[in-house]
Amino acid sequence: MKILLVYPEFPDTFWSFKHALKFIRKRAGAPPLGLLTVAAMLPGDWETRLVDTNIGHLRDRDLAWADYVFLSAMVVQRDSARQVIDRCKEAGVTVVAGGPLFTGDPESFADVDHLVLNEAEITLPMFLADLEQGCARRVYTTSEFPDIQQTPAPRWELLDMRRYATMSIQFSRGCPYDCEFCNITTLFGRRPRTKTAEQIVGELDALYALGWRGGVFFVDDNFIGNKKVLKQELLPALIEWRQGKTGLPFNTEASINLADDDELMHMMVQAGFNTVFVGIETPDEDSLAECNKFQNRGRNLVESVKTIHRAGLQVQGGFIVGFDHDTPSIFQRQIDFIQTSGIVTAMVGLLQAPYGTRLYQRMEGEGRLLEGPSGDNVDGSTNIVPKMSIDTLRAGYKRILNQIYSPRMYYERVKTFLQDYQPPQIGLYLDINYILAFFRSIYRLGITGVERLHYWRLFFWTLFRRPKLFPLAITLAIYGYHFRQVCELHVL
Ligand code: B12
């Protein structure tokens, strides 16, 4: 059996990092971990190939080779996924689709031959067994959450790793919190399920043996969802694994209560983590109550962020405007919060109701639901009717982006962050692409860019005041360029 795994293209969005990737001559931020994992679950004698259309083209001869196309996608990849399905239909190849887009909205894909939904650990064996018997159904679903200690290691060797900026690895699925707008609990449950430390060390060993020295993204929904297992099993194993190695800095996603646990932060830094994405959402207590984000309530959020920075973990933050409790003062409050906290990478979006969320149900019940979500929560669109007038909301949203990504405020924020941040302990791995990116930044940002004055100020300030953080300062300058391009393209 010949299986072609296909990953559709991401549009040019905030998280695509497309404009920044050009500096380091990479084609995509992260690999399609779902497909690599699914590939590892297929019978060993089946032939598998991967086409990630973010890296290269899907050619007619790839489709002619395949018996089946296995397709995975998020909502944001919908258009490209649609094109792939159409091409498969034309070429007469059977399509098997899974992953968040199809699990959330199967009704929109009536022409897909087999929808193998939810987590493949449960549904794929069902499909494969029926296929062998010649009676494969069209839809496979489950309401169970599998034990991921049985999940095989992703098949990294299917990738052309040199084209990616980071590799991904997954330790846990699920999140103990239940924010109204988030679909993680619907997709993966509230009880975090973890892999064993041995599984993760095995996966890291495999990446290391393949020569990978770049960043590794732990794609957990909330890395600190099960602190006990982290402190007693995973982090000690990672700290030991890291001894004598250079490169492979880790980043992940976690809830803000990370700031309350010095020991946990210290262990994470020792293990090689240097960045963590945190859902901050809003400084407004009423809006936090509205969306049931109680882990963010009743605390000094700016101080929490700074505590994490001082421990040696850079916070990337998610922010939302358009809650029912938001008044027009929220826009300036968000700007002030982002600037003061020194969160350089601030993903600000309008409140959207993804499929399967409690917010989706509530909006439907209140007759406030519009066409399906775009899947990109940073494109200034929303699928709900907000309480504030949509024009005021859009204008305020634009103002936030205009300001926080203006060269002056962006570079000021980088400096605030670098002042607080404890330099990482990971041995630096010098990649030629990063050295070239440095020279490209001098040309694109320091000579021809509108930000040149701010670039050189940061350049010399970091060189003299925070020399250990110089590579990070240049990286953040390049990120700023990307964020500005995306905002100009889509929102402003
Ligand atoms: C890593 C990640 C990213 C990476 C992308 C990495 C990449 N190249 O794929 C980055 C940071 C770029 C990213 C960005 C975004 N992401 Co994202 N991301 C994730 C995250 C945290 C992990 C994905 C992952 O690798 N999982 C591990 C693998 C093993 O799981 P999996 O892909 O789901 O695959 C399993 C099953 O789904 C199934 N399966 C998957 N594919 C297939 C295919 C077949 C044929 C079969 C049979 C089965 C199958 O089997 C696998 C094993 O069980 C998920 C949350 C999550 N837990 O999944 C969100 C998630 C996928 N992202 C989401 C969103 C909304 C986004 C963003 C729009 C913004 C945001 N707020 O995060 C942007 C859009 C991307 C862009 N470029 O514009 C949503 C998607 C919702 C949806 N229905 O589409 C998720 C689910 C998070 C959420 N809270 O809702 N993301």
What is the Cα–Cα distance from 445 to 455, expressed in whole angstroms?
7
Q: Which residues pair with 169 in a beta bridge?
A: 218
| 420 CA from centroid of ligand 1 (Å) | 31
pLDDT at 250: 97
Q: Which residues line ligand 1 (CB under 6 A)?
A: 10, 13, 15-16, 29-30, 32-35, 37-38, 70-72, 74-76, 96-101, 104, 116, 119-121, 124, 168, 170, 173, 182-184, 187-188, 219, 221, 354, 375-377
| 9 CA from centroid of ligand 1 (Å) | 13
Residue with CA nearest ligand 1 atom 15: 15
Pocket test for ligand 1, best of 74, 193, 293, 379 (most atoms within 8 A of CB): 74
Query: CA angle, corner 289, sides to 285 and 293, nearest 5?
Result: 100
Q: Are 15 and 62 in contact (CB under 8 A)?
A: no
Pocket test for ligand 1, best of 4, 5, 7, 15 (most atoms within 8 A of CB): 15
Classify 68 as helix, strand or coil: strand
- Report, as an integer, the average pLDDT of 83-94: 98
pLDDT at 429: 73
Instruction: Give the H or E element holding residue 3.
Output: strand 2-7
**Which atom of ligand 1 is nearest the CA belonging to 102?**
83
pLDDT in tens, 171-217: 999 999 999 999 999 889 999 999 999 999 999 999 999 999 999 99
The secondary structure of 129-192 as a DSSP string is HHHHHT---SEE--S----GGGPPPP-GGGS-GGGBSEEEE--EE--S---TT--HHHHH-SS-
Predicted structure pTM score: 0.96
Residue 489 pLDDT more than 80? no
pLDDT at 491: 65
Q: Helix and strand tally (H, E) in the chain?
A: 20, 14
Residue with CA nearest ligand 1 atom 14: 15
Residue 492 pLDDT more than 70? no
Residue 386 pLDDT more than 70? yes
pLDDT at 96: 98
